[in-house]
Structure 1
């Protein structure tokens, strides 16, 4: 299964190579933003944007509300998985 995690671009670290620093749940990583930039929206205009991050690439942009909903669902899935794991351990 492939999963895109919402993250917010906080800094363009290397515009020539399409690299930016993204904050994903408090963790900051350098990712490639080539898929979300073009002549109309250059790298410098992406700071503050929310993107779906998958294997080190920003795959698409999303708005802040969609990012928040997705993060909340991922959190709920994590809580549910922890409960399933606890039940398995008790069995």
Structure 2
């Protein structure tokens, strides 16, 4: 099973970007996202942004992840 998490881009430098969630920052590769920019929400898997999503979708994905964690006892 693959899992991607939504992160918000806070800085872009070429094919690399700095993204964050809940104060945790991570350098990601954005080469698969056309014209990635600060403020974009992206789904990140294995360090690569694989899809741009809107803020509402990002929140729904986060909620689903929390529900899954509760189901799995985590």
| TM-score normalized with structure 2 length | 0.90
* Structure 1 residue ranges (4+ consecutive) displaced by more than 4 angstroms after TM superposition: none
Query: What's the offset of the Cα at 1:59?
Result: 0.1
Query: What's the offset of the Cα at 1:82?
Result: 1.5
Query: What's the offset of the Cα at 1:52?
Result: 0.4
Query: What's the offset of the Cα at 1:80?
Result: 1.7
The structure where strand makes up a greater share of residues is: 2
Query: What's the offset of the Cα at 1:24?
Result: 3.0
Map 1:1-91; keep pairs closer than 5 Å. 1-12=1-12, 14-15=13-14, 18-37=15-34, 41=35, 43=36, 46-82=37-73
Unaligned runs of 5+ in 2: none
Cα RMSD over matched residues?
Answer: 1.4
How many residue pairs are counted as aligned between the two chains? 74
Query: What's the offset of the Cα at 1:81?
Result: 1.3
Query: What's the offset of the Cα at 1:26?
Result: 3.2
Q: Select the structure of larger CA radius of gyration.
A: 1
| TM-score normalized with structure 1 length | 0.74
